[in-house]
Amino acid sequence: MYSIEVNGTSGEEVNEFTPIEKFKIFNKNNLWVNLKAIKRLVEADALKMEIILNPKDVDGVEFLQLETAAGAAVRFIDHAIGINVP
């Protein structure tokens, strides 16, 4: 299996993270959340997520993709934990 996520990695660093001999899996973007907790945060307007500007070029048309990083919401969740699964 080979998966890589390099968004947010600077151009100089991409080569550091791409050799599959070094990183067989790099960021699978898995989040497990309690949807009732997320609902409470949304209803309270407590998720103050930053907008990420992601420049794109498709067939010569340049545009900005607006996105948020779901993992960044962790800071708004009391008692959140992270688990590194080998």
Give the start-to-end residue ranges of the domains of the chain: 1-30, 33-81
- The C-alpha atoms of residue 29 and residue 65 are separated, in whole angstroms, by 19
Condensed to tens digits (0 to 9), the pLDDT of residues 4-25 reads 455 556 667 666 766 666 666 6
Indicate the DSSP class of residue 6. Answer: -
- Is-contact 26 5, C-beta < 8 A? yes
As a whole number of angstroms, the distance between CA 41 and CA 33 comes to: 12
Of 66, 81, 84, 67, nearest to 34 (Cα)? 81
Model confidence, pTM: 0.49
Q: What pLDDT digit, counting tens, does each position of 42-70 carry?
A: 999 998 888 999 899 999 999 999 998 88
